[in-house]
Amino acid sequence: MKFLYMRIQGRENSYITQYPKGVFSLGWNLIRDGRLDDREKEMFIAIDQWFKDNLPEPEPCKNHERVITFFKCETTEEMQLKLEPVLALLDKYGKEYDVVYTNFIGGIVYEDQWQVAVRVEDGKMI
């Protein structure tokens, strides 16, 4: 089966969306909690910066709207590889996450070549 969208998400909800936190929030939580050593922290921040430099930030995300993002499977293989060190950190520190592949998301409120954003309400895509 061919999937259209992929999301890496934790098992704890975002206070904004009430939907599971995305991979970058999970990494920033490790930093906030003082779990990463200096080398790991530097590596995560560099990966986060790479994404900021190479992917447009969806306007709804900038505005802290209740949206979540998915990668498009067909155009993001390189990005998925860039995230492998982040997943290794999550594994190392026991931060649970799921890699979700799906063809069924809510109504798209933002789309570019690599990602989509969908609105969520009460923890559910709408």
Q: What is the dihedral of CA 46, 49, 53, 56, to 10 degrees?
A: 140
47: left (phi over 0), alpha (psi -120 to 50) or beta: alpha
Position 28 pLDDT exceeds 90: yes
pLDDT, average across residues 5-28: 95
Query: What is the overall mean pLDDT for the chain?
Result: 94
CA neighbours within 13 Å on the CB side: how many for 116?
A: 20
Position 65 pLDDT exceeds 90: no
Contact 119, 16 (CB under 8 A): no
User: Which residue, among 113, 19, 41, 46, has the nearest Cα to 73 in the 3D structure?
Assistant: 113
* Per-residue confidence band for 69, with pLDDT thresholds at 50, 70 and 90: very high
- In sequence order, which residues have a C-beta less than 8 Å from that of residue 19 and are 6 or more positions away? 9, 13, 68, 120, 123, 124, 125
Residue 82 Cα distances to 1, 14, 36, 77, angstroms: 24, 23, 18, 9
